[in-house]
């Protein structure tokens, strides 16, 4: 699963990019090539964390695609696994949502790029199960990629559905919250919530606890848009196709890629000014 060489001889750490329950993510440079990489240092003292990490490595190794963050290597360093990935220099979609308004043209482009990633995963029988703005990474060339595959599930003909309650509460589909058997369309609901994030600059039920949020999703289902009249009919319809409570009526990633809101989207390069602007603002805040 992991390389036995010492990564500290291969990579030089430049800065910490962020941290979470798993550990920290750093920006580093490959000493031999000068190329930048991201290193996720994962604390694996517990069996549960080991399983999640092994799962993340296996999914990334097997599923290489331009819309999925590239896996490069992994190493065991004391009680940590260092997961080395391509460095996405534009940060996260969450950063963009937090720092600026995103207009519909850019929402359409971001949606197409994410849905291409989801369509690739679903066609390979992989559910992401933690689609949210923090797990959508950007690069200053306009690239948009899905990341963080610790909660992903590989489906098989024998096990084509899952029923474990997993993910991040605010983005969970109703069938996940209710413990019902579910398939890849849970990712489409989650992406519909990302759509609301892009429109309203925050997630529905933001101020509720995870447990209260799950209860609201189970009882109320589809969150109401605060100002639907400010959105085009096409965008409203697109979000409605993602956020169908009945999984059978919810569109697949493949179908959503044919939705008029998405088919009219600009090339990914059109996102460059937005991504660079937010990156500059973030760098200025650090000073």
- By annotation, the residues acting in catalysis are 130
Asked if 57 contacts 40 with a C-beta cutoff of 8 angstroms, the reply is: no
229: CB partners within 8 A, 6+ apart: none
Q: Ramachandran region of residue 92, left (φ > 0), alpha (ψ -120 to 50) or beta? A: beta
Report long-range pairs for 246-253 (Cβ below 8 Å, ≥24 apart): 247/173, 247/175, 247/182, 247/183, 247/185, 247/186, 250/185, 250/188, 250/189, 251/188, 252/119, 252/122, 252/184, 252/185, 252/188, 253/115, 253/116, 253/118, 253/119, 253/122, 253/184, 253/187, 253/188
b/e map 33-49, b = 16+ CB within 10 Å: eeeebbbbbbebeeeeb
Between CA 273 and CA 283, with CA 279 as vertex, the angle to 5 degrees is: 145
Placement of tokens 């595959």 in the chain: 149
Placement of tokens 């291969």 in the chain: 10
CA–CA separation, 280 and 89 (whole Å): 11
């Amino acid at each position: 699963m992991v390389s036995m060489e010492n990564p500290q001889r291969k990579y030089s750490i430049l800065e910490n990019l962020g941290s979470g329950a798993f550990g920290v993510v750093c920006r580093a440079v490959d000493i031999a090539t000068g190329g930048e990489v991201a290193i996720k240092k994962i604390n694996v003292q517990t069996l549960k964390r080991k399983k999640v990490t092994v799962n993340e490595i296996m999914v990334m190794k097997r599923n290489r695609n331009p819309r999925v963050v590239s896996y490069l290597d992994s190493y065991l360093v004391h009680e940590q696994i260092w997961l080395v990935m391509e460095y996405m220099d534009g940060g996260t979609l969450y950063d963009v949502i937090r720092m600026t308004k995103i207009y519909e043209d850019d929402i359409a482009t971001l949606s197409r790029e994410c849905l291409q990633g989801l369509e690739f995963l679903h066609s390979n029988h992989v559910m992401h199960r933690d689609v949210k703005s923090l797990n959508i990474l950007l690069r200053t060339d306009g690239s948009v990629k899905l990341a963080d595959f610790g909660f992903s599930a590989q489906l098989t003909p024998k096990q084509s559905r899952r029923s474990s309650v997993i993910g991040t509460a605010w983005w969970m589909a109703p069938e996940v919250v209710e413990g019902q058997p579910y398939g890849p369309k849970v990712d489409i609901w989650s992406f519909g919530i990302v759509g609301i994030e892009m429109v309203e600059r925050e997630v529905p039920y933001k101020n509720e606890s995870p447990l209260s949020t799950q209860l609201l999703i189970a009882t109320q289902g589809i969150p109401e848009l605060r100002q639907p009249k400010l959105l085009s009919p096409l965008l409203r319809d697109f979000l409605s196709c993602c956020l169908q409570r009945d999984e059978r009526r919810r569109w697949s990633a493949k179908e959503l890629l044919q939705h008029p809101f998405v088919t009219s989207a600009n090339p990914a390069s059109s996102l460059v000014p937005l991504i660079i602007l937010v990156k500059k603002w973030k760098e200025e805040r650090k000073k």
